[in-house]
């Protein structure tokens, strides 16, 4: 598991030495979550937010986007998760 920017960058560089493309599952985690306890339930904040119908935190999504882009990648949270909709278009049709 990558827990810091350097870990993510090292993994990206390692894979790029073998191939041209890379898909990175980069998710915003919540501190205090025990990732070793699965029991068939979502144990990270993203999974918990989905089950609770809560939106992701925009600032966390922007931080992940910036980190992935700085490493030379692309993160789909802005398009796929509609991050800008609630921030910039609060009165738009869902």
First to last CA, the chain: 34
- Mean residue pLDDT of the chain comes to 61
**Which among 61, 57, 55 is positioned nearest to 76, based on CA atoms?**
61
Q: What pLDDT digit, counting tens, does each position of 15-42 carry?
A: 778 876 666 665 555 544 444 555 545 4
pTM recorded for the entire structure: 0.39
Q: What pLDDT digit, counting tens, does each position of 54-88 carry?
A: 555 666 667 777 777 777 776 666 555 554 555 55
Cα dihedral 63→58→54→48 (10° resolution)? 0
């Amino acid at each position: 598991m990558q827990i810091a920017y350097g870990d993510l960058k090292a993994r990206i560089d390692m894979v790029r030495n073998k191939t041209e493309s890379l898909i990175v599952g980069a998710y915003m985690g919540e501190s205090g979550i025990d990732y070793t306890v699965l029991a068939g339930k979502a144990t990270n904040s993203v999974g918990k937010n989905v089950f609770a119908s809560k939106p992701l935190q925009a600032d966390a999504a922007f931080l992940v986007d910036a980190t992935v882009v700085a490493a030379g990648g692309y993160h789909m949270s802005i398009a796929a998760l509609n991050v800008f909709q609630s921030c910039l278009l609060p009165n738009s049709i869902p």
